[in-house]
Amino acid sequence: MTTTHLISGGARSGKSRYAESLALQHGGAVCYVATAERRPDAAFAERIAHHQARRPAHWGLAEVGRHLGEALQYAAPGSLVLVDCLGMWLMRFFDEHGQFDADAWQQQRSILLAVLAAPPAAVVLVSNEVGWGVVPLGAETRHFVDELGRLNQDVAQVCQRVTLVACGQPLVLKGAA
């Protein structure tokens, strides 16, 4: 039986580092699925470089755009897929003007949840916990927070394990430690 594990936490909480530590313990092949869309700003490029520098060279890499669930369907049995992160994946459904492609989102979200219910490989998903702050003033930001909160709840429901990371410390919320 394959394992599904959602790891959530705030910005710079250590969630990606924790997910990577789990992937390093996996005995088989690892594929890192990068969901962020590259942006022209230097700060974002630095974030990507930081994540790249931590990954072992022998890990596979996939950049899946909007088609995360479909990509997971093709994971090799016995491998581990590390998805970093669901928040960046959700951002791909907002255009540069903040317009949300609800139809594409619902379709791709449904595919992801169906694959996670019976994945071909172990899957570790990283996501941002964005629901502990104040309600955002902007409509687009509120929509993003709402959609990610609902996605995190639904992914947590189908995953066998859920861990919250704060201050670099994992707290198991669901499943075996």
51 given a catalytic annotation: yes
Closest by Cα among 2, 3, 6, 27 to 172 = 6
- Sign (positive/negative) of CA torsion 99, 102, 108, 114? positive
Q: Which of 65, 131, 140 is nearest to 97 (CA)?
A: 140
DSSP for 16-68, please give it: HHHHHHHHHH-SS-EEEEE-PPP-SSHHHHHHHHHHHHHS-TTSEEEE-TT-H
Which is the catalytic residue, given 51, 58, 67, 143? 51
Contacts of 37 (CB under 8 A, 6+ apart): 65, 88, 91, 92
Active site residues: 51
